[in-house]
Structure 1
Amino acid sequence: MATSPSASSRAGPVLARRIAVGGALALLAGAMGGTTPVRATPERRGPAAGLSAAPVGVVRAVTDAGELVLEDGRRIRLAALHLPCAADLPQDTGPEEAARLTALAAAARDALRAWAVGWSVVPWTPRLDRDRYGRVLAQVVVGQDRPVWLQAALIAAGLARVETMPGVEAGAARLLRLEAVARRHRRGLWRDPLYQPRAPDATWPWIGTFQIVRGTVRAAAKVRSRVYLNFGADWRRDFTVRVDRPSAAGFRTADLLDLTDQYVQVRGWLYPTNGPMINLDHPTALETRVILE
């Protein structure tokens, strides 16, 4: 397995990383029901369909924001992943909650550094391969002999949540299944109430944060070019999901309107428009077959 040029003088840290990656493989296999982790073989075309291999690189560092910095200067943002961070808490959070989040964030970054720094990686890029800051958006496979899909290992360990956006959905279906298993087994952040899925009537305190919300759609309505999914009797105050121009966002309007009385799960950033609202702009963020834990 390729390592950085100076790895021979760092046998101890490299051995520790080997152990960490081996542990990730075992954890990932368990989370997937004992199946073999996804390999980066030419036949599979990486960890999921719809991805393209970028040049191999060696990870020099992991930033506090969870970016991979490669020795060739590329900066990789882990696609479809939301690592614990300060932005997960409202401004009026107490010191106890802040301390718990700090510990969870540190655990996620420590694992990411142990599994990635000094190792060769293959970035597998989705349709949208750069963000607005010029960072490479990628699903990342670590190593060559026993490759580990980095996002899957983090999700399976309960160290991150799935967060997708338009053009960066490749691989998300499998990650969502791994997330559901990790949540059911209360791994990592899923042991903490800070990260439990919210009921629609419990979303007000979490305005400005990324959340998973699950509940029953009480009414669905089309208003001009938008569809609204209302989760309460008072659309002026209760939680709502808004879909602008459904066809452009990848939805059929009729399918959205048929969600009345259905139990769904949606994820996204909460913002105040009348009541708390999530703007749904791609299908992966809406789950109509919810795995209850």
Structure 2
Amino acid sequence: MTVNKHIEDFHGLPVFDFVTAVDAGSELPEPGAVAWKIGIEFDSDQDWPTRWGQFLDRVDTASVTAVVVGEWSHDGPVSFAGPLAAVLAAADRLPALRGLFIGDITYEENEISWIEMVDVTPVLTTFPLLTELVVRGASGEYTDGEGLALQPVRHEHLRALRFESGGLPGEVPRAVAASELPALERLEFWIGVHAYGGTTRPADLDPFLDGGRFPALRHLGLQNSEFQDEIAAALAHAPVVARLESLNLSMGVFTDEGATALLDGQPLTHLKSLDLHHHYLTEAMQQRLREALAGVELDLSEAGKPDDRWQYVAVAE
């Protein structure tokens, strides 16, 4: 399955397509009123750095709080290295930037596992006041490029971090676990599959379960994996769960085995929400979850067939 639509909101703001508006001669909104998206179409006669330059020239970027990076390639996969350099070079012109989404790209533009991501550590070191970072992209083991990467870092203000991938390199969660992120409240990983470069294994997620690494954490998403039942079994007795307000185990191969482990483990009734959408649970187990977690906002949508021999994660290729 694929990412089939663009985000409409980011960092608490509606997403505004700068390039589409400029080409149409439309009026631009106030700089801080929207999350500014800069991306190019496949048939565009201008490259991404040129469009980025137009954005810097046309908008009072000193007041911009959120930026969304869309497609940066005219034709086929292209490394994010060039666009990243352009963003980093403009850091002094973006003093109010607090939210950055890298890779708002649908499958019609570029499959997620062909989005040639790079080491995004410089984003965090260059923008020390950033509070939200989302990165969508591929492992270097699957593409010909450098691939999605992160180095351990200390960042005082980051509150939300999400990595979206059809195959997440194990180095990424290991680097997050080795980082110092005292303000981190929300953490999500789309793990993906080995066939598309994913090397993350259950052991790579263990550091997030004891609750000691990130004391401010209130939301945890360990999603889109082929070993979703194993994750659920680990969480059933993980100390971090008692501190969470919401838990996301969606998008993966989640079956009655994982759900049984959750229900037989520690109480989950303190959660405000539990997201299990895209699952392979029987009707009986779905009903058992509804009854046991009656006060929890429970997402059981996108049910697959429990007896289907082909059970997939939601986002891979």
- Output the TM-score relative to the length of structure 1: 0.29
Name the one with the larger helix percent. 1
Of the two structures, which has the highest relative contact order with CA contacts closer than 8 Å and spacing of 6 or more? 1
Taking structure 2 as the reference length, the TM-score comes to 0.27
The structure with the greater share of residues assigned to strand is: 1
